[in-house]
Amino acid sequence: MDYIKKKLLEKGVQERAVVKRLISEFGNVVVEDVNIDQILTGMKGMTSLLTVTSKLDPENGIRYRGYSISELQELLPKNSPEGEPLPEGLFYLMLLGELPTPQDVEFLSKEWYNRSHVPYHVIKVLEAMPTTAKPMTQFSTAIISMATDSIFQKAHRAGINKNDYWDTTYEDVMNLIARLPVIAAYIYRRSFKDGSFIEPDRDLDWAANFAHMMGYDDEEIYRLFRMYMNIHADHEGGNVSAHATHLVGSALSNPYYSYAAGMLGLAGPLHGYANQEVMFWIYDMIKVIGDDMDEKVIREKIETYVRKTISEGKVIPGYGHAVLRVTDPRFTAQQLFAEKYVKDDKIINIVNMLYDIVPPILKSLGKVKNPWPNVDAFSGALLQHYGIDEYFFYTVMFGVSRALGVLSQLVWDRMYNLPLERPSSETLEWFKEKAGI
């Protein structure tokens, strides 16, 4: 058993006892009331999950095990003082609840490199699909096809004790995270480049290797990938990708199926697809407003375009959030990255202008709960600056990152022996009766 698993087990046994006690001794404690609108508007604000990896504060944004993105910028190990923290460290923090040392990060980099071999049949499955298949279609298919390798599934069939489910889940999770950049990079190369496969480099960390296998070898791009992988990694338990992974995992489906379910949710326009929508929307706007004018004129034209989008009954992609009520710190992290590295980029300039223009317009509608930008408002602009302008691929990148959070939580779901998720539902008659109408 490696030392990470030993630590997990130590903490896990104690915490599992707490969860058990909460259910058996304190199960009747009422924690909050539930309103009709919460049930009918997507269970927002209704506590219904146990998630240990991160917590989303509406006013301050995401906290991974209690630490904000800007705090982790200082606290997580980097490979150079001016660089970005390595996502290996964030995974360690989310999994174990403690800050990693540089040695812990190095251990994970090596471990993931050693586990990165993708079974040949997965490559064959991908090759059976047209290169025009949407990258998220290819990505989720590849993940499901890799379930043939599930150690958890074999162990479960062999009849292991449920207190040991976490162990084989951890093994699947580590293999899956190690292989995701290989699969994603291959999808990128077969969809948008010459289809050649670039081997991972044993001297690179997980995120840099992802960039390398996509065909981008430059320290600045490696930093972009480390930052991108860190900020998209987790957003507490109720978002669609995290919740779907947990829900399917609660049926004891193997980690490959569980994570694939999360990815199919991430592919939706109101979730991880929004980063593509932002770029399509900006380019459609440029076609209408032109791009060769002084700033005042551009601003006026952008404002008109924003109002027109809303009047057509559409949303402004990249703005609003189901929980957040401030500018997303993940937006700010990308803005700071752009300030540090990017000099004058047309699309980034437009994104910055939109940040001035959109919130007052959304506020004036009186119904938008959060008029501020979310993570998706900036990510595409940064990626296109570095030449990655294949927008359909952006959600795959988001998905690779999201694995860090949702899969470390899946290990804890199994450690706690969380049961099958099975809420009840009611008919419209029931709601009418409750409301007295």
Residue numbers annotated as active site: 271, 321, 376
Closer by beta carbon to ligand COA, 255 or else 262: 262
**CB 273, min distance to ligand COA, A:** 8
418 binds ligand COA (CB under 6 A): no
Q: Residue 175 or residue 374: which is nearer to ligand COA going by CB?
A: 374
200 near ligand COA, rule: CB under 6 A: no
374 contributes a contact to ligand COA by CB under 6 A: yes
Each residue 269-298 as x (binds ligand COA by CB under 6 A) or -, in order, gives -x---x------------------------
Is 320 an interacting residue with respect to ligand COA (CB under 6 A)? Answer: yes
Please work out the total of residues on this chain that contact ligand COA, with binding judged by CB under 6 A.
18
Residue whose CB is less far from ligand COA, 144 or 357: 357
Residue of minimal CB distance from ligand COA? 320
Contact pick of 317, 359, 380, 405 for ligand COA (by CB under 6 A): 317
Residue 308 in contact with ligand COA, rule: CB under 6 A:
no
In the range 79-118, which residues lie near ligand COA by CB under 6 A? none
Can residue 311 be called a binding residue for ligand COA (CB under 6 A)?
Answer: no
Closest approach, Cβ 367 to ligand COA, in A, equals: 4
Nearer to ligand COA, 198 or 278 (CB): 278
Report the nearest approach of ligand COA to the CB of residue 357 (Å): 13
SS (H, E, C) the chain: CCHHHHHHHHHHHHHHHHHHHHHHHHCCCCCCCCCHHHHHCCCCCCCCCCCCCEEEECCCEEEECCEEHHHHHHHCCECCCCCCECHHHHHHHHHHCCCCCHHHHHHHHHHHHHCCCCCHHHHHHHHCCCCCCCHHHHHHHHHHHHHHHCHHHHHHHHCCCHHHHHHHHHHHHHHHHHHHHHHHHHHHHHHHCCCCCCCCCCCCCHHHHHHHHHCCCCHHHHHHHHHHHHHCCCCCCCCHHHHHHHHHHHCCCCHHHHHHHHHHHHCCCCCCCHHHHHHHHHHHHHHHHCCCCCHHHHHHHHHHHHHHHHHCCCCCCCECCCCCCCCCHHHHHHHHHHHHHCCCCHHHHHHHHHHHHHHHHHHHHCCCCCCCECCHHHHHHHHHHCCCCCHHHHHHHHHHHHHHHHHHHHHHHHHCCCCCCCCCCCCHHHHHHHHCC
Verify binding: residue 234, ligand COA, rule CB under 6 A: no
Which residues, 353 to 372, sit near ligand COA by CB under 6 A? 362, 367-370
Q: Is 39 in the site for ligand COA (CB under 6 A)?
A: no
Stretch that binds ligand COA, among 156-164, 287-295, 311-319, 340-348 (CB under 6 A): 311-319
Query: For residues 72 and 316, which CB has a smaller minimum distance to ligand COA in the complex?
Result: 316
- Given the rule CB under 6 A, which residues bind ligand COA? 270, 274, 310, 315-322, 362, 367-370, 374, 376
